Amino acid sequence: MKASEIRDMSVEEMNEKLTDLKDELFRLRFQLAVNQLDNTARLKAVKKDIARIKTILRENEIKSSVGQ
């Protein structure tokens, strides 16, 4: 997921996507613990997507507070 795709989302969509990614990360970590994870690179990708969404949410929060 690219940052430009995330910026096009609404805040509600970003929060929903963030929840989905956190759930996926939990499942991936569980699979890793029981040695059933095939694609270990997916862990890193999900973590980066979570960080991107959190960063953009924070940017939006700062923009709205500065504008007041």
- Rounded to a whole number, what is the largest CA-CA distance in the chain? 51
pLDDT tens track, the chain, 68 positions: 889 999 999 999 999 999 999 999 999 999 999 999 999 999 999 999 999 999 999 999 999 998 76
**What CATH number should be reported for the domain holding residue 44?**
1.10.287.310
Predicted TM-score (pTM) of this structure: 0.91
What whole-number distance in Å separates Cα of residue 9 and Cα of residue 49?
14
What whole-number distance in Å separates Cα of residue 49 and Cα of residue 67?
27
Structurally, the chain folds into a number of domains equal to: 1
Looking at residue 48, what is its pLDDT?
97
Which residue range is the domain that position 33 belongs to? 3-66
What whole-number distance in Å separates Cα of residue 28 and Cα of residue 21?
10
CB 52 within 8 A of CB 21: no
Looking at residue 1, what is its pLDDT?
80
